[in-house]
Amino acid sequence: MPIRERRGHWHYRFQVNGHTYQGNTGLVATERNRTAAIRIEAKARELVLSGRSHELKLEVVAFDDAAAPFLKWCDAEYREHPNSAKRIRVSFASLTEFFGNSPVSAITAGRVEDYKAWRRTEHQVKEVTLRHDLHALSPFFAYGIKHNWARVNPVKAVEIPSDADAVRMHVVTPEEEARYFETAERWPNLHDVGRLIILQGLRPEEAMELRKDLVDLANGTVTVAHGKTKAARRTLKLTSEARTILGIRIAQASLSPWVFPSPRREGKPITKLNNVHQHAQEASGTSFVLYDLRHTCATRWVQAGIDLPTVAKWLGHNNLRSVHKYVHPTPEHDVAMARRYEAYLETLRSAAGEPKGMMQ
């Protein structure tokens, strides 16, 4: 229906090209006012259809009232990635405390700057936390614009802190790798998932969620069928060790469709590996997170001479910028590359008939 009663007034709500528009007609919700309210709805729809949605009268909605439907929308929008919705909810605990009953339309870039200062002084949060907050606030305003609660997204006029502080990556050395996996043999799931990560560049959840029908031992491939992006859904050629691990796993899990059988909810394992990983860390005297095995794999690919576009494809990224966060050349690799470059320069000098130089 074009109008509905909310808090004693007639409100309109309609959709055009997938966007929802709604607002308060300003009329008390009586039968006598129904016809007039319908005319206001029709006028609002006409403005949108004629490309003049900016002329709509904004609906005044308090931030804390608007947060509830937005978070409900996030739960549905990120149902495939509940951790994303969870991160937004965590940020909104502070955002709602600060903005409270302020009208969404009245929140300016200046108020967002005030929020940044408040979080830094009152809560002394790290810049990466503030970055997460603003990345949660920005889609809220995009959602609000579609609902006619705001005209602009003030976050776009605010400087978002760099994610430099968030970069905590460690490339596992061969010695650390040997100690860790020798210890991890006590926990077969951890050992085999970790090997698949460091050998194939899989994300931990991608390994844990592998179905047996996605592994082609005959052709030596594994397919990642689900992911955040199209690029994340990919097929990888297996290394010989990974092929052996998966072959043994599939044979052992004869009654389960999963390579790593475990209690699941909607296809996702309930049991996490973080606890046993911590035990393996303590017992082996190493210190890194499981995801560092993926960084290590990417770094080794590059050091083996594999080009960046291929590394991006194997990691499941759709751009090279993301790959740069994963690749961390070691000092030894830097020296080897410098020597390779010097050798290349020597060939150029020889071709030009110049005297050879010396590598320092």
| Better-predicted residue by pLDDT, 137 or 28 | 137
Mean pLDDT of 62-88: 90
Q: Determine contact, residues 180/284, Cβ cutoff 8 Å.
A: yes
Spatial neighbors of 1 by CB under 8 A, at least 6 apart, are none
Q: What is the pLDDT of residues 147-201, one digit of tens each?
A: 889 888 999 999 998 765 555 678 899 999 999 999 999 999 999 999 999 999 9
Residue 247's CB is within 10 A of a number of other CB atoms, namely 13
Residue 237's pLDDT is what? 94
Residue 93 confidence (pLDDT): 96
Architecture per CATH, 63-166: Orthogonal Bundle (1.10)
Whole-Å CA distances, 232 to 7, 197, 265, 299, 318? 46, 15, 22, 19, 8
Q: How high is the pLDDT of residue 60? A: 82
For residue 14, pLDDT over 90 is answered with: no
pLDDT of residue 359: 42
Residue 360 has pLDDT above 70, yes or no: no
| pLDDT digit string, tens, across residues 233-243 | 999 999 999 99
Residue with the larger pLDDT of the pair 59 and 101: 101
CB atoms within 10 A of CB 316: 21
**Contact (CB, 8 A) for 194 and 184:** yes
**Per-residue exposure over 129-164, b if at least 16 CB sit within 10 Å of its own CB, e if not:** bbbbbbebbbbbbebbbbbbbbeebbbeebebbeee
pLDDT tens digits for 253-262?
778 899 998 8
Residue 358 pLDDT class (50, 70, 90 cuts)? very low
Q: CATH for 174-324?
A: 1.10.443.10
CB 133 within 8 A of CB 102: no
Say how far apart CA 174 and CA 166 lie, in whole Å. 25
Question: Tell me, what DSSP letter sits at residue 258?
Answer: B
DSSP E strand boundaries for the chain: 3-6, 9-16, 19-28, 215-216, 221-224, 234-237, 264-265, 268-269
Looking at residue 355, what is its pLDDT? 58
pLDDT in tens, 80-134: 778 789 999 999 999 999 999 999 989 999 999 999 999 999 999 888 899 999 9
pLDDT tier, 38 (very low <50, low <70, confident <90, very high otherwise): very high
pLDDT for res 282: 94
Q: Specify the higher pLDDT residue, 114 or 43.
A: 114
Q: Is the pLDDT of residue 212 over 70?
A: yes
- The whole-number pLDDT of residue 323 equals 74
Where along the chain do its domains lie?
3-55, 63-166, 174-324
Instruction: Provide the pLDDT for residue 357.
Output: 52
Distance between CA atoms of 46 and 129, rounded to whole angstroms?
Answer: 43
The pLDDT score that the predictor gives to residue 66 is 95
| Rounded Cα distance, 6 and 37, in Å | 13
What is the model's pLDDT at position 146? 87
Q: Check residues 92 and 229 and name the one with the higher pLDDT.
A: 92
3-class state of residue 298 by DSSP: helix
50-60 mean pLDDT? 78
Would you say residue 18 has pLDDT above 50? yes
Residue with tokens 């590598």: 359
Pairwise CA distance, residues 25 & 45, whole Å? 13
d(CA 82, CA 92): 15
- Residue 31's pLDDT band (cuts 50, 70, 90): very high
Beta strand pairing call for 19-28 and 9-16 = antiparallel
pLDDT at position 333 over 80: no
